[in-house]
């Protein structure tokens, strides 16, 4: 049953508005929490970010660039093709890092850091289908 409050607002409208705010808040918070969790996990590994200019990319960023096809010009396949190439052994974390270096996304120092290479490798493994 709808009731009009003294302010002239329907009570069901307040309920609907409240549910909309809660729903929208959940969508806005989830990505931020996911990114924070990834950053925290990488910080626990003591994996540095390597910068080119003002941007800093971590291993999760590098894997994401590859997965989204942003390293295709450097010969890295995207999406399922990336997962298949990695699973089949024809693509390695070093290949992806080299592509990111060629695309001027990170510095060449990243390739020399075994912790960074291992973290990119770990991120690529997460792309494999279960």
The tens digit of pLDDT for each residue in 93-107 reads: 999 999 999 999 999
Q: Is residue 122 pLDDT above 60, yes or no?
A: yes
Whole-number pLDDT of residue 56? 78
Position with higher pLDDT, 30 vs 69 = 69
Q: Is residue 24 pLDDT above 90, yes or no?
A: no
Could you tell me the two tokens for 122? Answer: 């770990």
Cα atoms in the 13 Å half-sphere on the side-chain side of 116: 21
Could you tell me the two tokens for 14? Answer: 């307040």
Mean pLDDT score of the chain, rounded to an integer?
A: 75
The per-residue pLDDT for range 58-85, each reduced to its tens digit, is: 999 999 999 999 999 999 999 999 999 9
Whole-number pLDDT of residue 42? 46
pTM assigned to the model: 0.62
- Return the SS3 of 17: helix
């Amino acid at each position: 049953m709808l009731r009009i409050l003294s302010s002239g607002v329907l009570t069901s409208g307040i309920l609907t508005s409240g549910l909309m705010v809660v729903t929208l808040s959940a969508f806005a918070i989830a990505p931020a929490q996911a990114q924070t969790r990834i950053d925290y996990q990488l910080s626990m590994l003591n994996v540095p970010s390597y910068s080119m200019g003002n941007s800093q990319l971590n291993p999760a960023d590098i894997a994401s660039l590859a997965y989204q096809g942003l390293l295709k010009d450097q010969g890295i396949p995207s999406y399922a093709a990336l997962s298949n190439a990695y699973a089949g052994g024809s693509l390695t974390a070093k290949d992806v890092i080299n592509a990111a270096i060629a695309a001027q996304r990170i510095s060449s120092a990243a390739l020399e850091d075994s912790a960074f290479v291992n973290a990119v490798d770990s991120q690529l493994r997460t792309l494999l289908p279960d």
